[in-house]
Structure 1
């Protein structure tokens, strides 16, 4: 049970005494989590039985259970209970977003293992089939972006964000196939199972993920991305830019390694777009 969600739902039904307890819980979660029932009652200027009634209103049978539920919520992230003040103006938000994106690109550039990405690109360039796997919002986006970047180079590539489909595809792989698995957290255990299944059938596996994570440990090659996001919960994650730049570097290296094998499908794509879309050869290729 998410006790904070229950508390928010009940706020309109609380008595004034109970609202004082709720205000303390929301504003000083650490105190509420560690205080005795007498200490919490004293701070809220209510009686201990009022605290007990407050706990039962939140579907907790006792004050002890209430404290356990509060602790569970606090463990998930106090930054959601007492969020840092966010930038409000369009100018401040724009500067903050751009600055964080620039920092992410700089960080991934300075930490990039050139030898590893060179090895990964060589494997992808000669693959029989490339499978781009990722689940969840950002990781699924990366899988689709890998497909978008690689098909135009003449590679056979498919993307999937479905765990069951990923596992079935892994079971059908050949020894010259490759998985590129994307995971921001590195802890997607369904994806770990898929990687292990593919390796059992001799397919090669590449992971774009956090280093020293279960997915990193499962893959043959890890292209690590590990950035601190900060505590501003409303700001989009800047790690996306770091992952995307690794995808772009990998794709460009693959294109160079495939050389003329990549040029012909690129030419065909441009031919069809110029002929049937806008007659403008200066447009970005296929994007």
Structure 2
């Protein structure tokens, strides 16, 4: 049973009293989880038996069971019970998104390990082949973007977003390969397994992830990104902008490390686009 959906009662099928008691529970989960039935009844202005009957109407065995179910809401996170929605109009949403993106980039600049960034770029530029491992949405997007940035600089790179394929590629990795992994939480244990396989084979690995995480511990070079998430669960994570900025930094450093190779590849791509699509060189390199 998902008690949150039961308490929310968006169809308003319950009585006014039940809706009031439900709102009391949602408004102060911590109080209810730690309160006795008498304390709950006193705050609600009803009798303890009324509380018991309310809990049973929700599908709970009684008040103790109700508290257990309510505690599970807190375990998932109270922001998923009472989300903070500070922006609603298009103007407010636009300002909120831009402000959070700017803040993510500002915090990244303050915490970025430039030595690790330089080491990662050197490994990528010197690799015979690059494997980029991601999964689960955001990280899949990040490794695909790394592929998009580096192939045009003359790097041989493949991006994979399948855990089983990543494990097989790790087991088959040859000398000269460098593996780049992305995990926003740092708790992707399938990626950890890949990194352990690579370490056994002596294949260097680079990860962009949270510091102090299992993924970070299993990698050779860690590009740490530690940004707090806000309470607005409806807003896409601004951490994406920080990760994309790191990818751009790596691409720029890789390009500068071998300008002749990068220039030759970029010019070949641009020549194809100008002759077939654009007619001149003013458009972006890609679409």
Residues 11 and 19 of structure 1 are in contact (CA less than 8 Å); yes or no, is this contact kept in structure 2? no
2:18 paired residue number: 18
Contact 2:7–2:23 (8 Å) recurs in 1:
no
The equivalent residue for 2:8 is 8
Question: Is 1:51 matched up with 2:48?
Answer: no
1:235 maps to what in 2? 235
Provide closer, same or farther for how the CA distance between residues 10 and 62 of structure 1 changes in structure 2, counting only shifts above 3 A.
farther
Residue aligning to 2:215: 215
How big is the shift at 1:85?
Answer: 4.2
Extract unaligned runs of 5+ from structure 2: none
Q: Is the contact made by 1:129 and 1:176 (CA closer than 8 Å) also made in structure 2? A: yes
Shift in alpha-carbon separation, 1:47–1:13, aligned structure 2, 3 A: farther
Shift of 1:246: 0.7
After TM superposition, list the pairs within 5 Å mapping 1:74-153 onto structure 2.
74-153=74-153
1:11 Cα deviation from its structure 2 partner: 5.8
Give the equivalent residue in structure 2 for 1:249.
249
Alpha-carbon distance between aligned partners in 1 of 2:249 and 2:76, rounded to the nearest angstrom:
35
Deviations 1:23-47 (A, max 9, x none): 2112222222122122223333444
Normalising by structure 1, we get a TM-score of 0.92
Query: Within 1, Cα distance between the matches of 2:147 and 2:209?
Result: 17
Structure 1 counterpart of 2:71: 71
Work out the CA distance in 2 between the residues paired with 1:9 and 1:178.
52
**Counterpart Cα distance in 2 of 1:165 and 1:65:** 44
Matched, 1:275 2:275: yes
1:236 counterpart SS class: coil
Give the C-alpha shift of residue 239 in structure 1: 1.2
Matched, 1:39 2:9: no
Conserved 8 A contact 2:8-2:22: no
3-state SS of 2:230 partner: coil
Q: 1:10 offset after TM fit, Å?
A: 7.9
Contact 2:80 2:233 in 1 (8 A): yes
SS, match of residue 272 in structure 2: helix
CA distance in 2, matches of 1:85, 1:163: 35
Note the alpha carbon deviations across 1:111-138, whole angstroms, 9 max, x for none. 2222211111111111122111122221
Contact kept, 8 Å, 1:32 with 1:67, in 2: the verdict is: yes
Give the deviation of 1:189 after TM superposition: 1.2
Residues 117-167 of structure 1 show CA distances to partners (whole Å, capped at 9, x for unaligned) of: 111111111112211112222111101111111111122211122211111
1:283 deviates by 0.9
RMSD of equivalent CA atoms: 1.9
Q: Deviations over 1:187-244 (max 9, x none)?
A: 1111111111122222111010111111111100001111123322232222111111
Match of 1:258 in 2: 258
TM-score by length of 2: 0.92
CA contact (8 A) 1:209 1:215 kept: yes
Output the CA distance in 2 between the equivalents of 1:16 and 1:9.
11
Q: Distance in 2 between the 1:19 and 1:106 partners?
A: 44
Alpha-carbon displacement from aligned partner over 1:64-93 (angstroms, at most 9, x marks no partner): 222122112112221232233412333333
Q: Which moved more, 1:81-90 or 1:152-161?
A: 81-90
Pair 1:175 & 2:175 matched: yes
The whole-number CA distance in structure 2 between the counterparts of 1:260 and 1:246 is 23
Unmatched segments (≥5 aa) in structure 1 = none
Q: Relative to structure 1, is the Cα distance of residues 88 and 9 closer, same or farther in structure 2, using a 3 angstrom cutoff?
A: closer
